[in-house]
Amino acid sequence: MKHINEILNVKADVSIPSHSKETKEIVQPTAAYKCPLCQDRGILLEGDVAFPCSCMNSKKLDNQFRTARISRELKKCRFENFKLDYYLSQTGDQTHYETAIKALGASRSFVDEYRKNPHILGIMFSGPVGSGKTFLAAAIANELMDAQKQVLFLVVPDLLDELRATYKSEVNELDLLDTARTIPILILDDLGAHNYTDWTRNRLYSIINYRMNEQLPTIFTSNLTLEEMEEYLGVRTTSRIIQASRIFRLTVESDIRHQKYQEREGRVKK
């Protein structure tokens, strides 16, 4: 019986002659490996003992983010990177700052509570564009994925496009809806003033209502007020969101993206 290292070394023993018959020069393998430690095999050897290479953890994490639909940029969103300085007011008004502290605290508490009980209330972050809503939602997702929890992050305009694309394909639509309904943690980002039709409103209601009845927490972000939400989504959907969520409103004196841009420009000029 062959030892494990003999089997694994077969890959290196492909039919490349060690010497050219005419020139007698040594021919070196030219394959480039993404992981030089394990040569893309995924395992390392100590004698006849095999164990996973560290690159497998990276691949697993990348797959997890792809499955969750977390973008590369949102992977950087962490509670420790949530800068409260952006909520300070030039006029001395502490309202923005105080509401940001409450939202951050609620986000941390949500993660801690979910680890003990997967059937807790969700959260809705409302507020104007550039107030940090998506950052906190993504930070929650990242913390939970670190704890090996299943998360799905859906940007609502993209979800609506996908639902419209499945209009004539019932199987694909059911797959998409079932995933959104049953995933342990769902994040619906940018629940704004989009071009909702009765058909898309009914699909959204189906997702939100099912999750509320099954006590599966959902994180919402929206730049709409509750009154505007009733106008765009309908009373029954808005009612379900209120019933299934703790609501926190984030406000800023100036769009955080603009503040970051000004910081970058200031550093460049220096």
Q: SS3 for 83-102, per residue?
A: CHHHHCCCCCCCHHHHHHHH
- Pair of tokens at residue 59: 């691949």
Task: Give me 44's structure tokens.
Answer: 């390392």
Give the count of domains, the chain. 2
Query: The domain that contains 214 carries what CATH number?
Result: 3.40.50.300
Residues 67-121: tens digit of each pLDDT? 557 888 898 999 999 999 999 988 878 999 999 999 999 999 999 999 999 999 9
Given this model, what pLDDT does residue 36 score? 79
Cα–Cα distance for residue pair 21/253, rounded to 1 Å: 76
Tell me: do 174 and 154 sit in the same domain: yes
Structural domain including 37 reads: 29-68
Same domain assignment for residues 75 and 123: yes
The pLDDT of residue 126:
96
Residues 184 and 244 placed together within one structural domain of the fold: yes
Confidence of residue 259 (pLDDT cuts 50, 70, 90): confident
Confidence check: pLDDT of 30 > 50: no
Residue 28 confidence (pLDDT): 41
Per the structure block, which two tokens stand in for 233? 């989504």
Burial classification of residue 189, based on how many CB atoms lie within 10 Å of its CB (0-12 exposed, 13-18 middle, 19 or more buried): buried
107 and 61 within one domain: no
Q: Give the model confidence (pLDDT) of 160-218 as tens digits.
A: 888 887 766 555 667 788 889 999 999 999 998 888 889 889 999 999 999 999 999 99
Mean pLDDT of the chain: 81
Q: Contact at 8 Å (CB) between 141 and 108?
A: no
Same domain, 207 and 148: yes
Quick check: 25 pLDDT over 90?
A: no
